[in-house]
Amino acid sequence: MKTFGHFDDQNREYVITDPATPFPWINYLGNEDFFGLISNTAGGYDFYKDAKFRRITRYRYNGVPMDAGGRYFYINDGGTVWSPGWKPCKTPLDAYECRHGMNYTRITGAKNGVEASVLFFVPLKTWAEVQKLTLRNTTNEVKTLKLFSFTEWCLWNAATDMENFQRNWSTGEVEIENGSTIYHKTEYKERRNHYAYYALTNAKADGYDTDRESFVGLYNGFEAPQCVMAGKPAMSLAHGWSPIASHYIEVTLQPGESKDYIFLLGYVENEQDEKFSQEDIARKQRGELISSQDSDVTLVNKKKAHAVIQRFATVEAVDAAFQELKEMWDGLLSKYTVTSTDERLNRMVNIWNQYQCMITFCFSRSASFFESGVGRGMGFRDSNQDLVGFVHQVPSRARQRIIDIASTQFPDGGCYHQYQPLTKRGNNDIGGGFNDDPCWLIFGTVAYIKETGDFSILDEMVPWDNEPGTEVPLFEHLRISFNHVVENLGPHMLPLIGRADWNDCLNLNCFSWDPNESFQTTENNSEGSKAESLMIAGLFVLTGKQYVELCQKIAKDEEAKRAQRCIDAMVEAVKKHGWDGDWYLRAYDFYGNKIGSKECEEGKIFIESQGFCTMAGIGLEDGMVEKALDSCKKYLDCEHGMVLNNPAFTRYYVEMGEISSYPAGYKENAGIFCHNNPWVIIGETVARRGNDAWDHYTKICPAWIKDQQLHKVEPYVYCQMVAGKDAAKPGEGKNSWLTGTAAWNWITITQYILGIKPTYDGIEIDPCIPSTLKEYTVHRELRDALFDITIKNPDGRESGVRSIVLDGSTIEGNVITATPGHHEVVVVM
């Protein structure tokens, strides 16, 4: 079977050895404010905080060929023109390798005795991407090369950048400083106080270009820019049209010699009264600056850019910054590690699953090669789930995220479905009314407190809808979230679904016949609706139990009792009205008809309610949990994972909406929606079925992918969806990277399968593993406690702890307090 790469666990890298991957296989640069997406052929783009409002470089989606535009280097070696990343030139290379690591990518290409290796990363706390290019002459002759860099500016707002050309083609402006730094300053004169720059920091360029047409040529593509082909820059100055930044460097390399060039692609914000620089007027008169600005008085103040350029002007400084990034990741990945005989398990837990959790925490569902970055901000439910996979890495950032999310909530407990990361305001275009949203705030907050022991977050004063003066303690937001479900029950005393629950495409109150309407934002006709959700019922019981435990912990006993009564009532309602005989129903529709029932023509069983009701343990004592799990195996499972529903919908049901609009086997219509597979897996651990849990886990786990060509997308991260058994191509993956699958599989494997769960006081040890796993060790750091835990399973059991020895003494039970210091724990199953 053809492979395109392999894991290098030692270096925590995925190594791509063939540039023509079945789809661009990407990586993410940056982890705080300044971000980049980079493909294995150096395609992609950068932005500051918000992929829509602060797009720095331009990208074309769904282009022909795929993945056009990025950070390109061109080498003209005596008329042979090539790029280290193969694209865009596609000149056959003598060698190619792309190493995607933790927030960095190194792409190396070689041609005719020249090796070019580029390291891309964003230094910590820096608003810039570093590109360190190393050129090496591996021949016995002197080589003279013409090197060109290239990047294309986006006119800041990535949405209007792709549509408003009557305006855009007149607004572009740049400045050029000493030929080596190119500043992009479109609209800087007026309301913007930010600009971008592309600098060569450790050498002087021999030329430049800033106008796309002059550099590329109107009738050329990126693969053959006319300047590169001619071996000569045009020294162009952009006035409107499409401003770019390109350096031209003449390089001579002695036999065996290598040279490093450092490029910096950065972003700066200036204070309003320090936007412009008087000194630069004089510099311009001396010829040190070239500007396409209409007026000299509006030359940008470059002080901040200069400081960063200075900081990264030497190879030593760049290498030190890279080392710092690596050390940060050493730290982040040391909080939870497993050692077992299965290297696939080790690499998912120790490296890639954790890495993806950081990425989803940073980006939510905004910017990937499947999300254009213009459509979506941060989701309320998405971010609450993402932070649960990330909280052990940097708890303080998870804390801030919880406050930001809660600040967009409405006083009745409802929520804006999304908010923009730049403004942190709720997004009015999408609005609210997704009735699962409030529950997720409890889910996120409880995970934070269990990780940190920091109950003070509950006292943080948090506004409603960002309205100053409305602040109440965060705990109040949790109480109102809980109540939002209780106060919105339907005829069966089950939660009303509202606009939709977790499944955005089960639109029970939409009734749309208008193709110009978006299912997601069309009028919510839930007035008078009887549509109820079993998924929210299960979610409510699960997060409600967490809420009760929290209330008890902080001595709110009356509130705990009240909440418990609501949960008991919900459990009763599910047993009475939500059970279909062999599985849980999915919902009741607008009219009160069953969805996800044997009685239905299609879509007889859905995964979400099986996942949540089994996780919540509803009817465990009556055998409902096991029956539902068996039904998942029987009807939903296939070689590549469990599909969302079965049978798939084959026609449009107006009362169900978008779900029935998708072709069978794709997306929410019977695709393998990886996000909800772990719910059933956790359900399996509730039923103590370790072998089944493991079987489901490995089916969707990237490290177990056999056919890379079929899977198509990156084999090192989870994707949102793999085509299901009813699809044309079962097993084909789509929408990689930005999915709640990362966080859910993280807690599934670390807490429920390997069985090390944080609790308010410490850790609980409760493995539920395959009987073939005879021994493994986990290193877990929780607050100031360090645990080294060895789990022995001599009899090949699936669950159950027989004895625990803590620091040499046998203990009662399976919970260990997080007392500061190092602890050795030996567990026998």
Residue 520 contact partner, candidates ligand NOJ, ligand BGC, none, CB within 5 to 8 A by sort of partner: ligand BGC
Is the Cβ of residue 378 or residue 773 nearer to ligand NOJ in the bound state?
378
**Secondary structure element (H or E) that encloses residue 347, with its range:** helix 343-347
668 binds ligand BGC (CB under 6 A): yes
The single residue among 71, 667, 711, 712 that binds ligand BGC, judged by CB under 6 A, is 667
Write down the least CB distance from residue 520 to ligand NOJ, Å: 10
Is the Cβ of residue 406 or residue 573 nearer to ligand NOJ in the bound state?
406
**DSSP bridge partners of 726:** none
381 binds ligand NOJ (CB under 6 A): yes
Whole-number Å distance between alpha carbons of 793 and 325:
38
504 binds ligand NOJ (CB under 6 A): yes
| Secondary structure string (H, E, C) spanning 669-687 | ECCEEHHHHHHHHHHHHHC
* Most distant pair of Cα atoms in the chain: their distance: 86
Which residue out of 504, 589, 726, 766 is catalytically annotated? 504
Is the Cβ of residue 535 or residue 550 nearer to ligand NOJ in the bound state?
535
504 is catalytic: yes
Residue nearest to ligand BGC (CB): 504
Q: Please check whether residue 495 is in contact with residue 435, taking contact to mean a CB–CB distance below 8 angstroms.
A: yes
Cβ neighbours of residue 817 under 8 Å, at least 6 residues apart?
Answer: 761, 762
Q: Please check whether residue 370 is in contact with residue 738, taking contact to mean a CB–CB distance below 8 angstroms.
A: yes
Q: Please check whether residue 802 is in contact with residue 794, taking contact to mean a CB–CB distance below 8 angstroms.
A: no
Angle between helices 534-553 and 607-615 (to 10 degrees): 20
377 binds ligand NOJ (CB under 6 A): no
Is the Cβ of residue 216 or residue 727 nearer to ligand BGC in the bound state?
727
Spell out where 271-377 has E strands: 289-291, 336-339
Phi, psi of 313 (to 5 degrees): -90, -5
Q: Please check whether residue 656 is in contact with residue 589, taking contact to mean a CB–CB distance below 8 angstroms.
A: yes
Residue nearest to ligand NOJ (CB): 504
Is the Cβ of residue 551 or residue 727 nearer to ligand BGC in the bound state?
727
Residue 381 contact partner, candidates ligand NOJ, ligand BGC, none, CB within 5 to 8 A by sort of partner: ligand NOJ
Residue 667 contact partner, candidates ligand BGC, ligand NOJ, none, CB within 5 to 8 A by sort of partner: ligand BGC
657-696 residues in contact with ligand NOJ (CB under 6 A) are: 668
Q: Please check whether residue 628 is in contact with residue 614, taking contact to mean a CB–CB distance below 8 angstroms.
A: yes
478-507 residues in contact with ligand BGC (CB under 6 A) are: 504-505
698, 703, 699, 706: which is closest to 724 by C-alpha?
699
Is the Cβ of residue 430 or residue 573 nearer to ligand BGC in the bound state?
430
Q: How many amino acids of this chain bind ligand BGC (CB under 6 A)?
A: 6
The single residue among 505, 574, 717, 742 that binds ligand NOJ, judged by CB under 6 A, is 505
Tokens of 256: 């065996």
352 binds ligand NOJ (CB under 6 A): no
**DSSP bridge partners of 496:** 532
401, 399, 397, 419: which is closest to 410 by C-alpha?
419
Of 322-330, 375-383, 564-572, 744-752, which segment contacts ligand NOJ by CB under 6 A? 375-383
The single residue among 243, 373, 377, 379 that binds ligand NOJ, judged by CB under 6 A, is 379
What's the alpha-carbon Rg for the chain, to the nearest Å?
28
Residue 642 contact partner, candidates ligand NOJ, ligand BGC, none, CB within 5 to 8 A by sort of partner: none
732 binds ligand BGC (CB under 6 A): no
The single residue among 57, 180, 236, 520 that binds ligand BGC, judged by CB under 6 A, is 520
The single residue among 366, 503, 533, 645 that binds ligand NOJ, judged by CB under 6 A, is 503
Put the strands of the sheet holding 13-16 in their side by side order.
Answer: 5-8, 13-16, 95-101, 104-111, 114-121, 128-137, 258-269, 194-200, 181-184, 174-177, 289-291
Write down the least CB distance from residue 397 to ligand BGC, Å: 24
Write down the least CB distance from residue 500 to ligand BGC, Å: 9
Give residue for tokens 């790469």: 5
Q: Please check whether residue 739 is in contact with residue 717, taking contact to mean a CB–CB distance below 8 angstroms.
A: no
Burial of 176 (0-12, 13-18, 19+ CB in 10 A): buried
Is the Cβ of residue 137 or residue 739 nearer to ligand BGC in the bound state?
739
Residue 347 contact partner, candidates ligand BGC, ligand NOJ, none, CB within 5 to 8 A by sort of partner: none
Q: Which residues bind ligand NOJ (CB under 6 A)?
A: 365, 379, 381-382, 502-505, 668
Active site residue ranges? 504
**Chain contacts with ligand BGC (rule: CB under 6 A):** 504-505, 520, 658, 667-668
